Amino acid sequence: MDRVSAPLSRLVHSSGLGVATMLLSILLFSMMDAMVKWLGGNYPTQQIMFFRCLVAMIPVAAIIASRGGLKVLKTRQPGLHLLRSLLGISAMACAFYALSLMRLADAISILHTAPLIMTVLSILVLREKVGIHRWSAIIAGFIGMLVVIRPGQSMLESGSLFMLIAALLIGCNSIIIRHLSARDDPVCITFYFTLTGLLVSSIAIALFGWVMPSAGDWVFLIAVGLFGGIAQYLMTVSYRHSEIAVVAPLKFLSIVIGGLIAYFVWAEIPDLQSLAGISIIIAAGLYAMQRELLLARRSKR
């Protein structure tokens, strides 16, 4: 193999690994969402969150051990970690509760407006400049979201308001993670989030009660945490081995996968209004992502 083809081969292999891990991550996250929806009708949200965080500690601990042990958890930003964790746990609680009430594809599509919310927050908080193209994508994305959630008195009953709050909190969280990631290892951020979730959900269970799982549901509860923890790590691996331009658009496949799972498990079929809103959200998200990457490449020249 010559000097030119060897680096090219490594690049193709690395990119292929990034795509493969992202696809597996999306599949696991979609399966986790479906199991949360399945369990939500019989178990309180805090109990599902407890298993999500408890079992997720297993892969998190394995990653910490592979990174040299507890020294990777040292941080000079404890306040930001606490704020990020509380926002993240609140987002998880809202999303898990909404999943028990909503059609799966609708719920996942609303969550995909979080990057658009993050862009708006970047303008307001970080004073980032945004041109007409990204503003158009933001406005279109929010129109698509309104089409899906159908604003009105039924928003509380349908769960769409809780999922909208979850997307808003995720957008806020992303801004904080930007600052944390500049100094702290990603597994450090994940650990403190998971630990906080474990503590908060344990307190909630002590206050509001526990429902003894059936034999079959034990499997689902454990799988929620295991799938969520592994999927989070695989997504990190994907971004490490591939350009964001290659793998980030794949995340919208979760809407399709979620829709297929919902069809075969619950016979859910989105109506025309939902399909229209979901299509607008996907198109706006992909366009905004394309503009972000274009501007990033121009700034490097």
> CA nearest 251: which of 84, 24, 14?
24
Cα separation, 61 vs 59, in Å, equals 5
Q: Check residue 294 and give its pLDDT.
A: 66
pLDDT score, position 135: 76
Q: Could you say which DSSP state residue 69 is in? A: S
Domain coordinates in residue numbering, the chain: 5-300
Q: What is the DSSP string of 121-175?
A: HHHHHS-----HHHHHHHHHHHHHHHHHH--STTHHHHSHHHHHHHHHHHHHHHH
Q: Over the chain, what is the mean pLDDT?
A: 80
Output the pLDDT for position 47: 95
Q: 131 is written with which tokens?
A: 């041109």
Given CA atoms 261, 266, 269, 273 in this order, what sign does their dihedral have? negative
Between 4-18, 47-61, 181-195, 274-288, the lowest mean confidence (pLDDT) is in 4-18
pTM: 0.80
What does the pLDDT average to over 87-116? Answer: 86
* H or E element in which residue 53 lies: helix 45-66
